Amino acid sequence: MAGLFSLEGRRALVTGANTGIGQAIAVALAGQGADVTCAGRRSCAETVDAITAAGGKAESLTLDFADPMAARDVFAGAGYSILVNNAGTIRRADSVDYSEADWDAVVDTNLKALFFTCQAFGKALMADGTPGSVINIASLLSFQGGIRVPAYTASKHGVAGVTKILANEWAPHGITVNAIAPGYIATNNTEALREDPDRSKAILDRIPAGRWGDPSDIGGTAAFLASPAATYITGAVLNVDGGWLAR
């Protein structure tokens, strides 16, 4: 008998699955039995190899979400019932100097592509009458302002809003839509922070858990939100941050 957290018989697409959080999510979904498509603009071969070596099912798909419509033809008739929107980008500059090109690049990838990928996924599920799960990767900057990342902050606030409106509209179709807001996670993106003793100490001093998060912390949360255990959870933006926002 399938367990409450089993994803057996489900097909999932994870964007930005080549490394870090996206890779951990893909591995976690496969670990619960999902057949996972690892999508990204760079090769996801390492993720696919890790999954298949552990006895899971995975394949790679090249998609560049600098084109917000990159996934419009992916879902129809393909049998997906789980979508994880993890692909994203960030560009830093003082707000008074921030360029239109940087703004558009960040918002197009982090928000516009996310919305239209959700749209294509939702249309396919509704056409088939199939329930499903959307998990968007938000940020602590869905709640906070940050510094020198105006487009990223705007886009991640937008991710929280899109998550809520889609949850409202799609709940009658049996489609849950939630977001995960990761805290400070030990990935390539935070390597410089972790190697700076003063910055690392300042960050750790605020985290009640007393440690940097591991990508697997996000992977486990995503697997839970995609599972039958979470069918009455929708419209949530769940911070997985070791207590950072509670401090």
How many angstroms separate the CA atoms of 13 and 221, rounded? 16
In the numeric block, which tokens belong to residue 130? 């199939």
How many angstroms separate the CA atoms of 142 and 157, rounded? 4
Count of H helices and E strands in the chain? 8, 7
Q: Which of 80, 98, 152, 184 is catalytic?
A: 152
How many angstroms separate the CA atoms of 119 and 110, rounded? 15
Catalytic (active site) residue 152:
yes
Nearest one of 199, 165, 166 to 184, comparing CA atoms = 199
From first CA to last CA, the distance across the chain in angstroms is 42
Helix (H), strand (E) at residue 177: strand 175-182
For residues 188-227, b (16+ Cβ closer than 10 Å) or e, as one string? Answer: eebeeeeeeeeebeebeeebeeeebbebbbbbbbbbbbbb
Burial of 24 (0-12, 13-18, 19+ CB in 10 A): buried
In the numeric block, which tokens belong to residue 199? 């910055």
Task: Please identify every residue annotated as catalytic.
Answer: 152
